[in-house]
Amino acid sequence: MSKILITGGAGFIGSHLADKLIEQGHQVVIVDNLSTGKKENINSKAKFYQIDISDAELLDIFKEEELEVVFHLAAQIDIRKSVADPIEDAKTNILGSLNLLENCKKFNIKKVVFISTGGAIYGDTTIVPTPEEYSALPVSPYGVAKLSVEKYLNYYYKFFGLNYVALRLANVYGPRQDPLGEAGVIAIFCNKLLKNEQPIIYGDGKQTRDYIFVDDVVNAGILALKQDKIGIFNVGTEKETSVNELFQKLTEVMDLKIEPIYNPSREGEQQRSCLDCSKIKKEFGWEPNYDLKKGIEEIIK
């Protein structure tokens, strides 16, 4: 059993990860500034520090806790905010991550598991599902920052022996996702439909995404912890679902007769996103356990 730090452990994915690690007998320390995370998400058996990953005081936590492994999820996650203020985005997503990695190096952390992004790194591609080898040219500061941290991880591994796995996630959904946030179309749609309100679809609704349930992402993280592998791995379902198909599936599961509102498309929105996950399946033995219908039923519950 390990003593594990989770940055962003009060957030949607981080809190599910903390629950699973604690259930497996690990000691969990959570660092979160609560800018988007919620105190009620934090497992009572975890030790919690309300602190930003950019703060110099992060060093004191490493010194105090004698950590072995770090799961790095803390981030500025709003793509539109990153476009509006790339400097502020970089302060958290690049400089904050560097502050964390410097402490990992200083205190001989055995492994870092970094939660990266698939869609925002690859953008619209000519190969769908998209493999890890595809040339990454992100078109948002958020995607650029995630790719930068992956490159820094490789640097710390090559020069200081800091082992790492970067998980490039598809579109994650599940319980605890913020229905009022910028991301998370399933949570946003469910919230509207449960109130008998009409959700908004931007554009023609034919744009596709690869929707992955949060428990499957957590399982990928647990396997990354256990394996000796180093490098970048996609985590998705390899299935494209259009926004129109998603809306239809939601109304079918909820037995509702509600029509969406169609608004003009948003500038720069990606048209297709789907990840090739053959690498993680082969090297980790990972498989998703949830299809979209099963995952939607869990959210509605």
Which of the residues are catalytic?
A: 142
- Secondary structure of the chain in the HEC alphabet? CCEEEEECCCCHHHHHHHHHHHHCCCEEEEECCCCCCCHHHCCCCCEEECCCCCCCCHHHHHHHHCCCEEEECCCCCCHHHHHHCHHHHHHHHHHHHHHHHHHHHHCCCCEEEEEEECHHHHCCCCCCCECCCCCCCCCCHHHHHHHHHHHHHHHHHHHHCCEEEEEEECEEECCCCCCCCCCCHHHHHHHHHHCCCCCEEECCCCCEECEEEHHHHHHHHHHHHHCCCCEEEEECCCCCEEHHHHHHHHHHHHCCCCCCEEECCCCCCCCCCCECCHHHHHHHCCCCCCCHHHHHHHHHC
